[in-house]
Amino acid sequence: MTERANLVYLDYAASTPVDPWVAEAMAALMTADGNYANPSSTHIAGRRSVEHIEHATGQLAGLLNTAPECLIWTSGATESDNLAILGAAHYRQDRGRHLVTMRTEHKAVTDPFKALQKQSFDVTWLDPEADGLLDLAKLKAALRSDTQLVSIMHVNNETGIIQDIRRIGELCREHGCLLHVDAAQSVGKLPIDLATLPLDLMSMTAHKVYGPKGIGALYIAPRPGVHVEPLLFGGGQQRKLRPGTLPAQQIVGFGAAAAIAQSRMSDDFRHLSAMRERLWSGIRDIPGISTNGAIESAFPGILNVSIEDIEGESLLLALEPLCVATGSACNSKTQEPSYVLRALGRSDELAQSAIRFSFGRPTRPQDIDLAIDLYRNAVARLRGMSPERAA
């Protein structure tokens, strides 16, 4: 208990705590006195589980302003990305085998594209500008007559940079290709109106928005030519696109989290903006510090900074009990510098010194103040130990 109380958690881009109301809604479908039946069953208990799933699907659809039947439940954004990219590429391969994405995408996107390259698909990898944004002229120049799929992340998980998915979608529509968007970091945090956005496929997950781990969804636009081939087989659930017993309690959790997010999105945005500004104001005067990605183009829940003459892993350890990240949580075990920051043109040294701070609903001003003190003290201590600086 004491150890947990001493932690300062600023890694909400990696995962968020489950909202108490979400946990309560989920618990009602997990125990013997609740609605725990298999939703594939046709008896009354199974039908009750289906009702809960349909209600939750409506909640997520309401957040996104789309029809419930456009959503496919998955195990998370990684599966949704794979189903969208691999499924759409294979479904449309007779029309063309050219695909486009960015080097700054999450591994759940870049790895499926690399797998498709081994299957003789032609992939164009676009670099961002130094501020993290995609130059739309470069995207337009990359599109060809045989381009069938473009995949661009909405909010980057390391830098928070927000891409103009509306304009990107318009370019894709003009060229007759599909647009997939990884929205794991933006669903429930930024307004997304799928009734008006020209998107074809969109991946999302619950655990970035105060829902449970292990549940995600894929949006499939209801228009001709938008379809995916399944990755899994073994049942008729979800139009056979993603078979398997639906985890009713997880789905209900995502639905509840979506409903909460819809009601407090504006308040959350203002809170996150205040926390980021407080932190950046407290450390921006440190010599050699710089942001990774333009703050004015980034989601306020993320602040990624690099600093000269400091090694990232040493800095991360020196910051304890502050819980932050050196890059993507899914890529944190490697000692390699962030490929996202390298794509932005950062040197290996600056990329390795990067720390990603990310904020959430529970973040308090006193948490930010402690983070400022810990960061400033850690930098001063590590620089004081540097032989080069001592010389």
Q: List the end-to-end C-alpha distance of the chain, in Å, as a whole number.
A: 44
- Pinpoint the alpha helices (H) of 159-303: 165-175, 248-283
Q: Has 330 been annotated as catalytic?
A: yes
**Catalytic hit among 70, 172, 177, 330:** 330
Cα atoms in the Cβ-side hemisphere of radius 13 Å centred on 149 = 31
291 phi and psi angles, rounded to 5 deg: -90, 150
Q: In what order do the strands lie in the sheet with 289-291?
A: 289-291, 302-307, 355-358
**Contacts for 347 with CB less than 8 Å, ≥ 6 apart:** none
Euclidean distance between CA atoms 25 and 180, whole angstroms: 31
Report d(CA 96, CA 121) in Å as an integer: 9
Q: At what angle do helices 248-283 and 365-385 cross, to 10 degrees?
A: 60
Tokens of 36: 């725990």
Residue 268 phi, psi (nearest 5): -60, -45
Query: Catalytic amino acids?
Result: 330
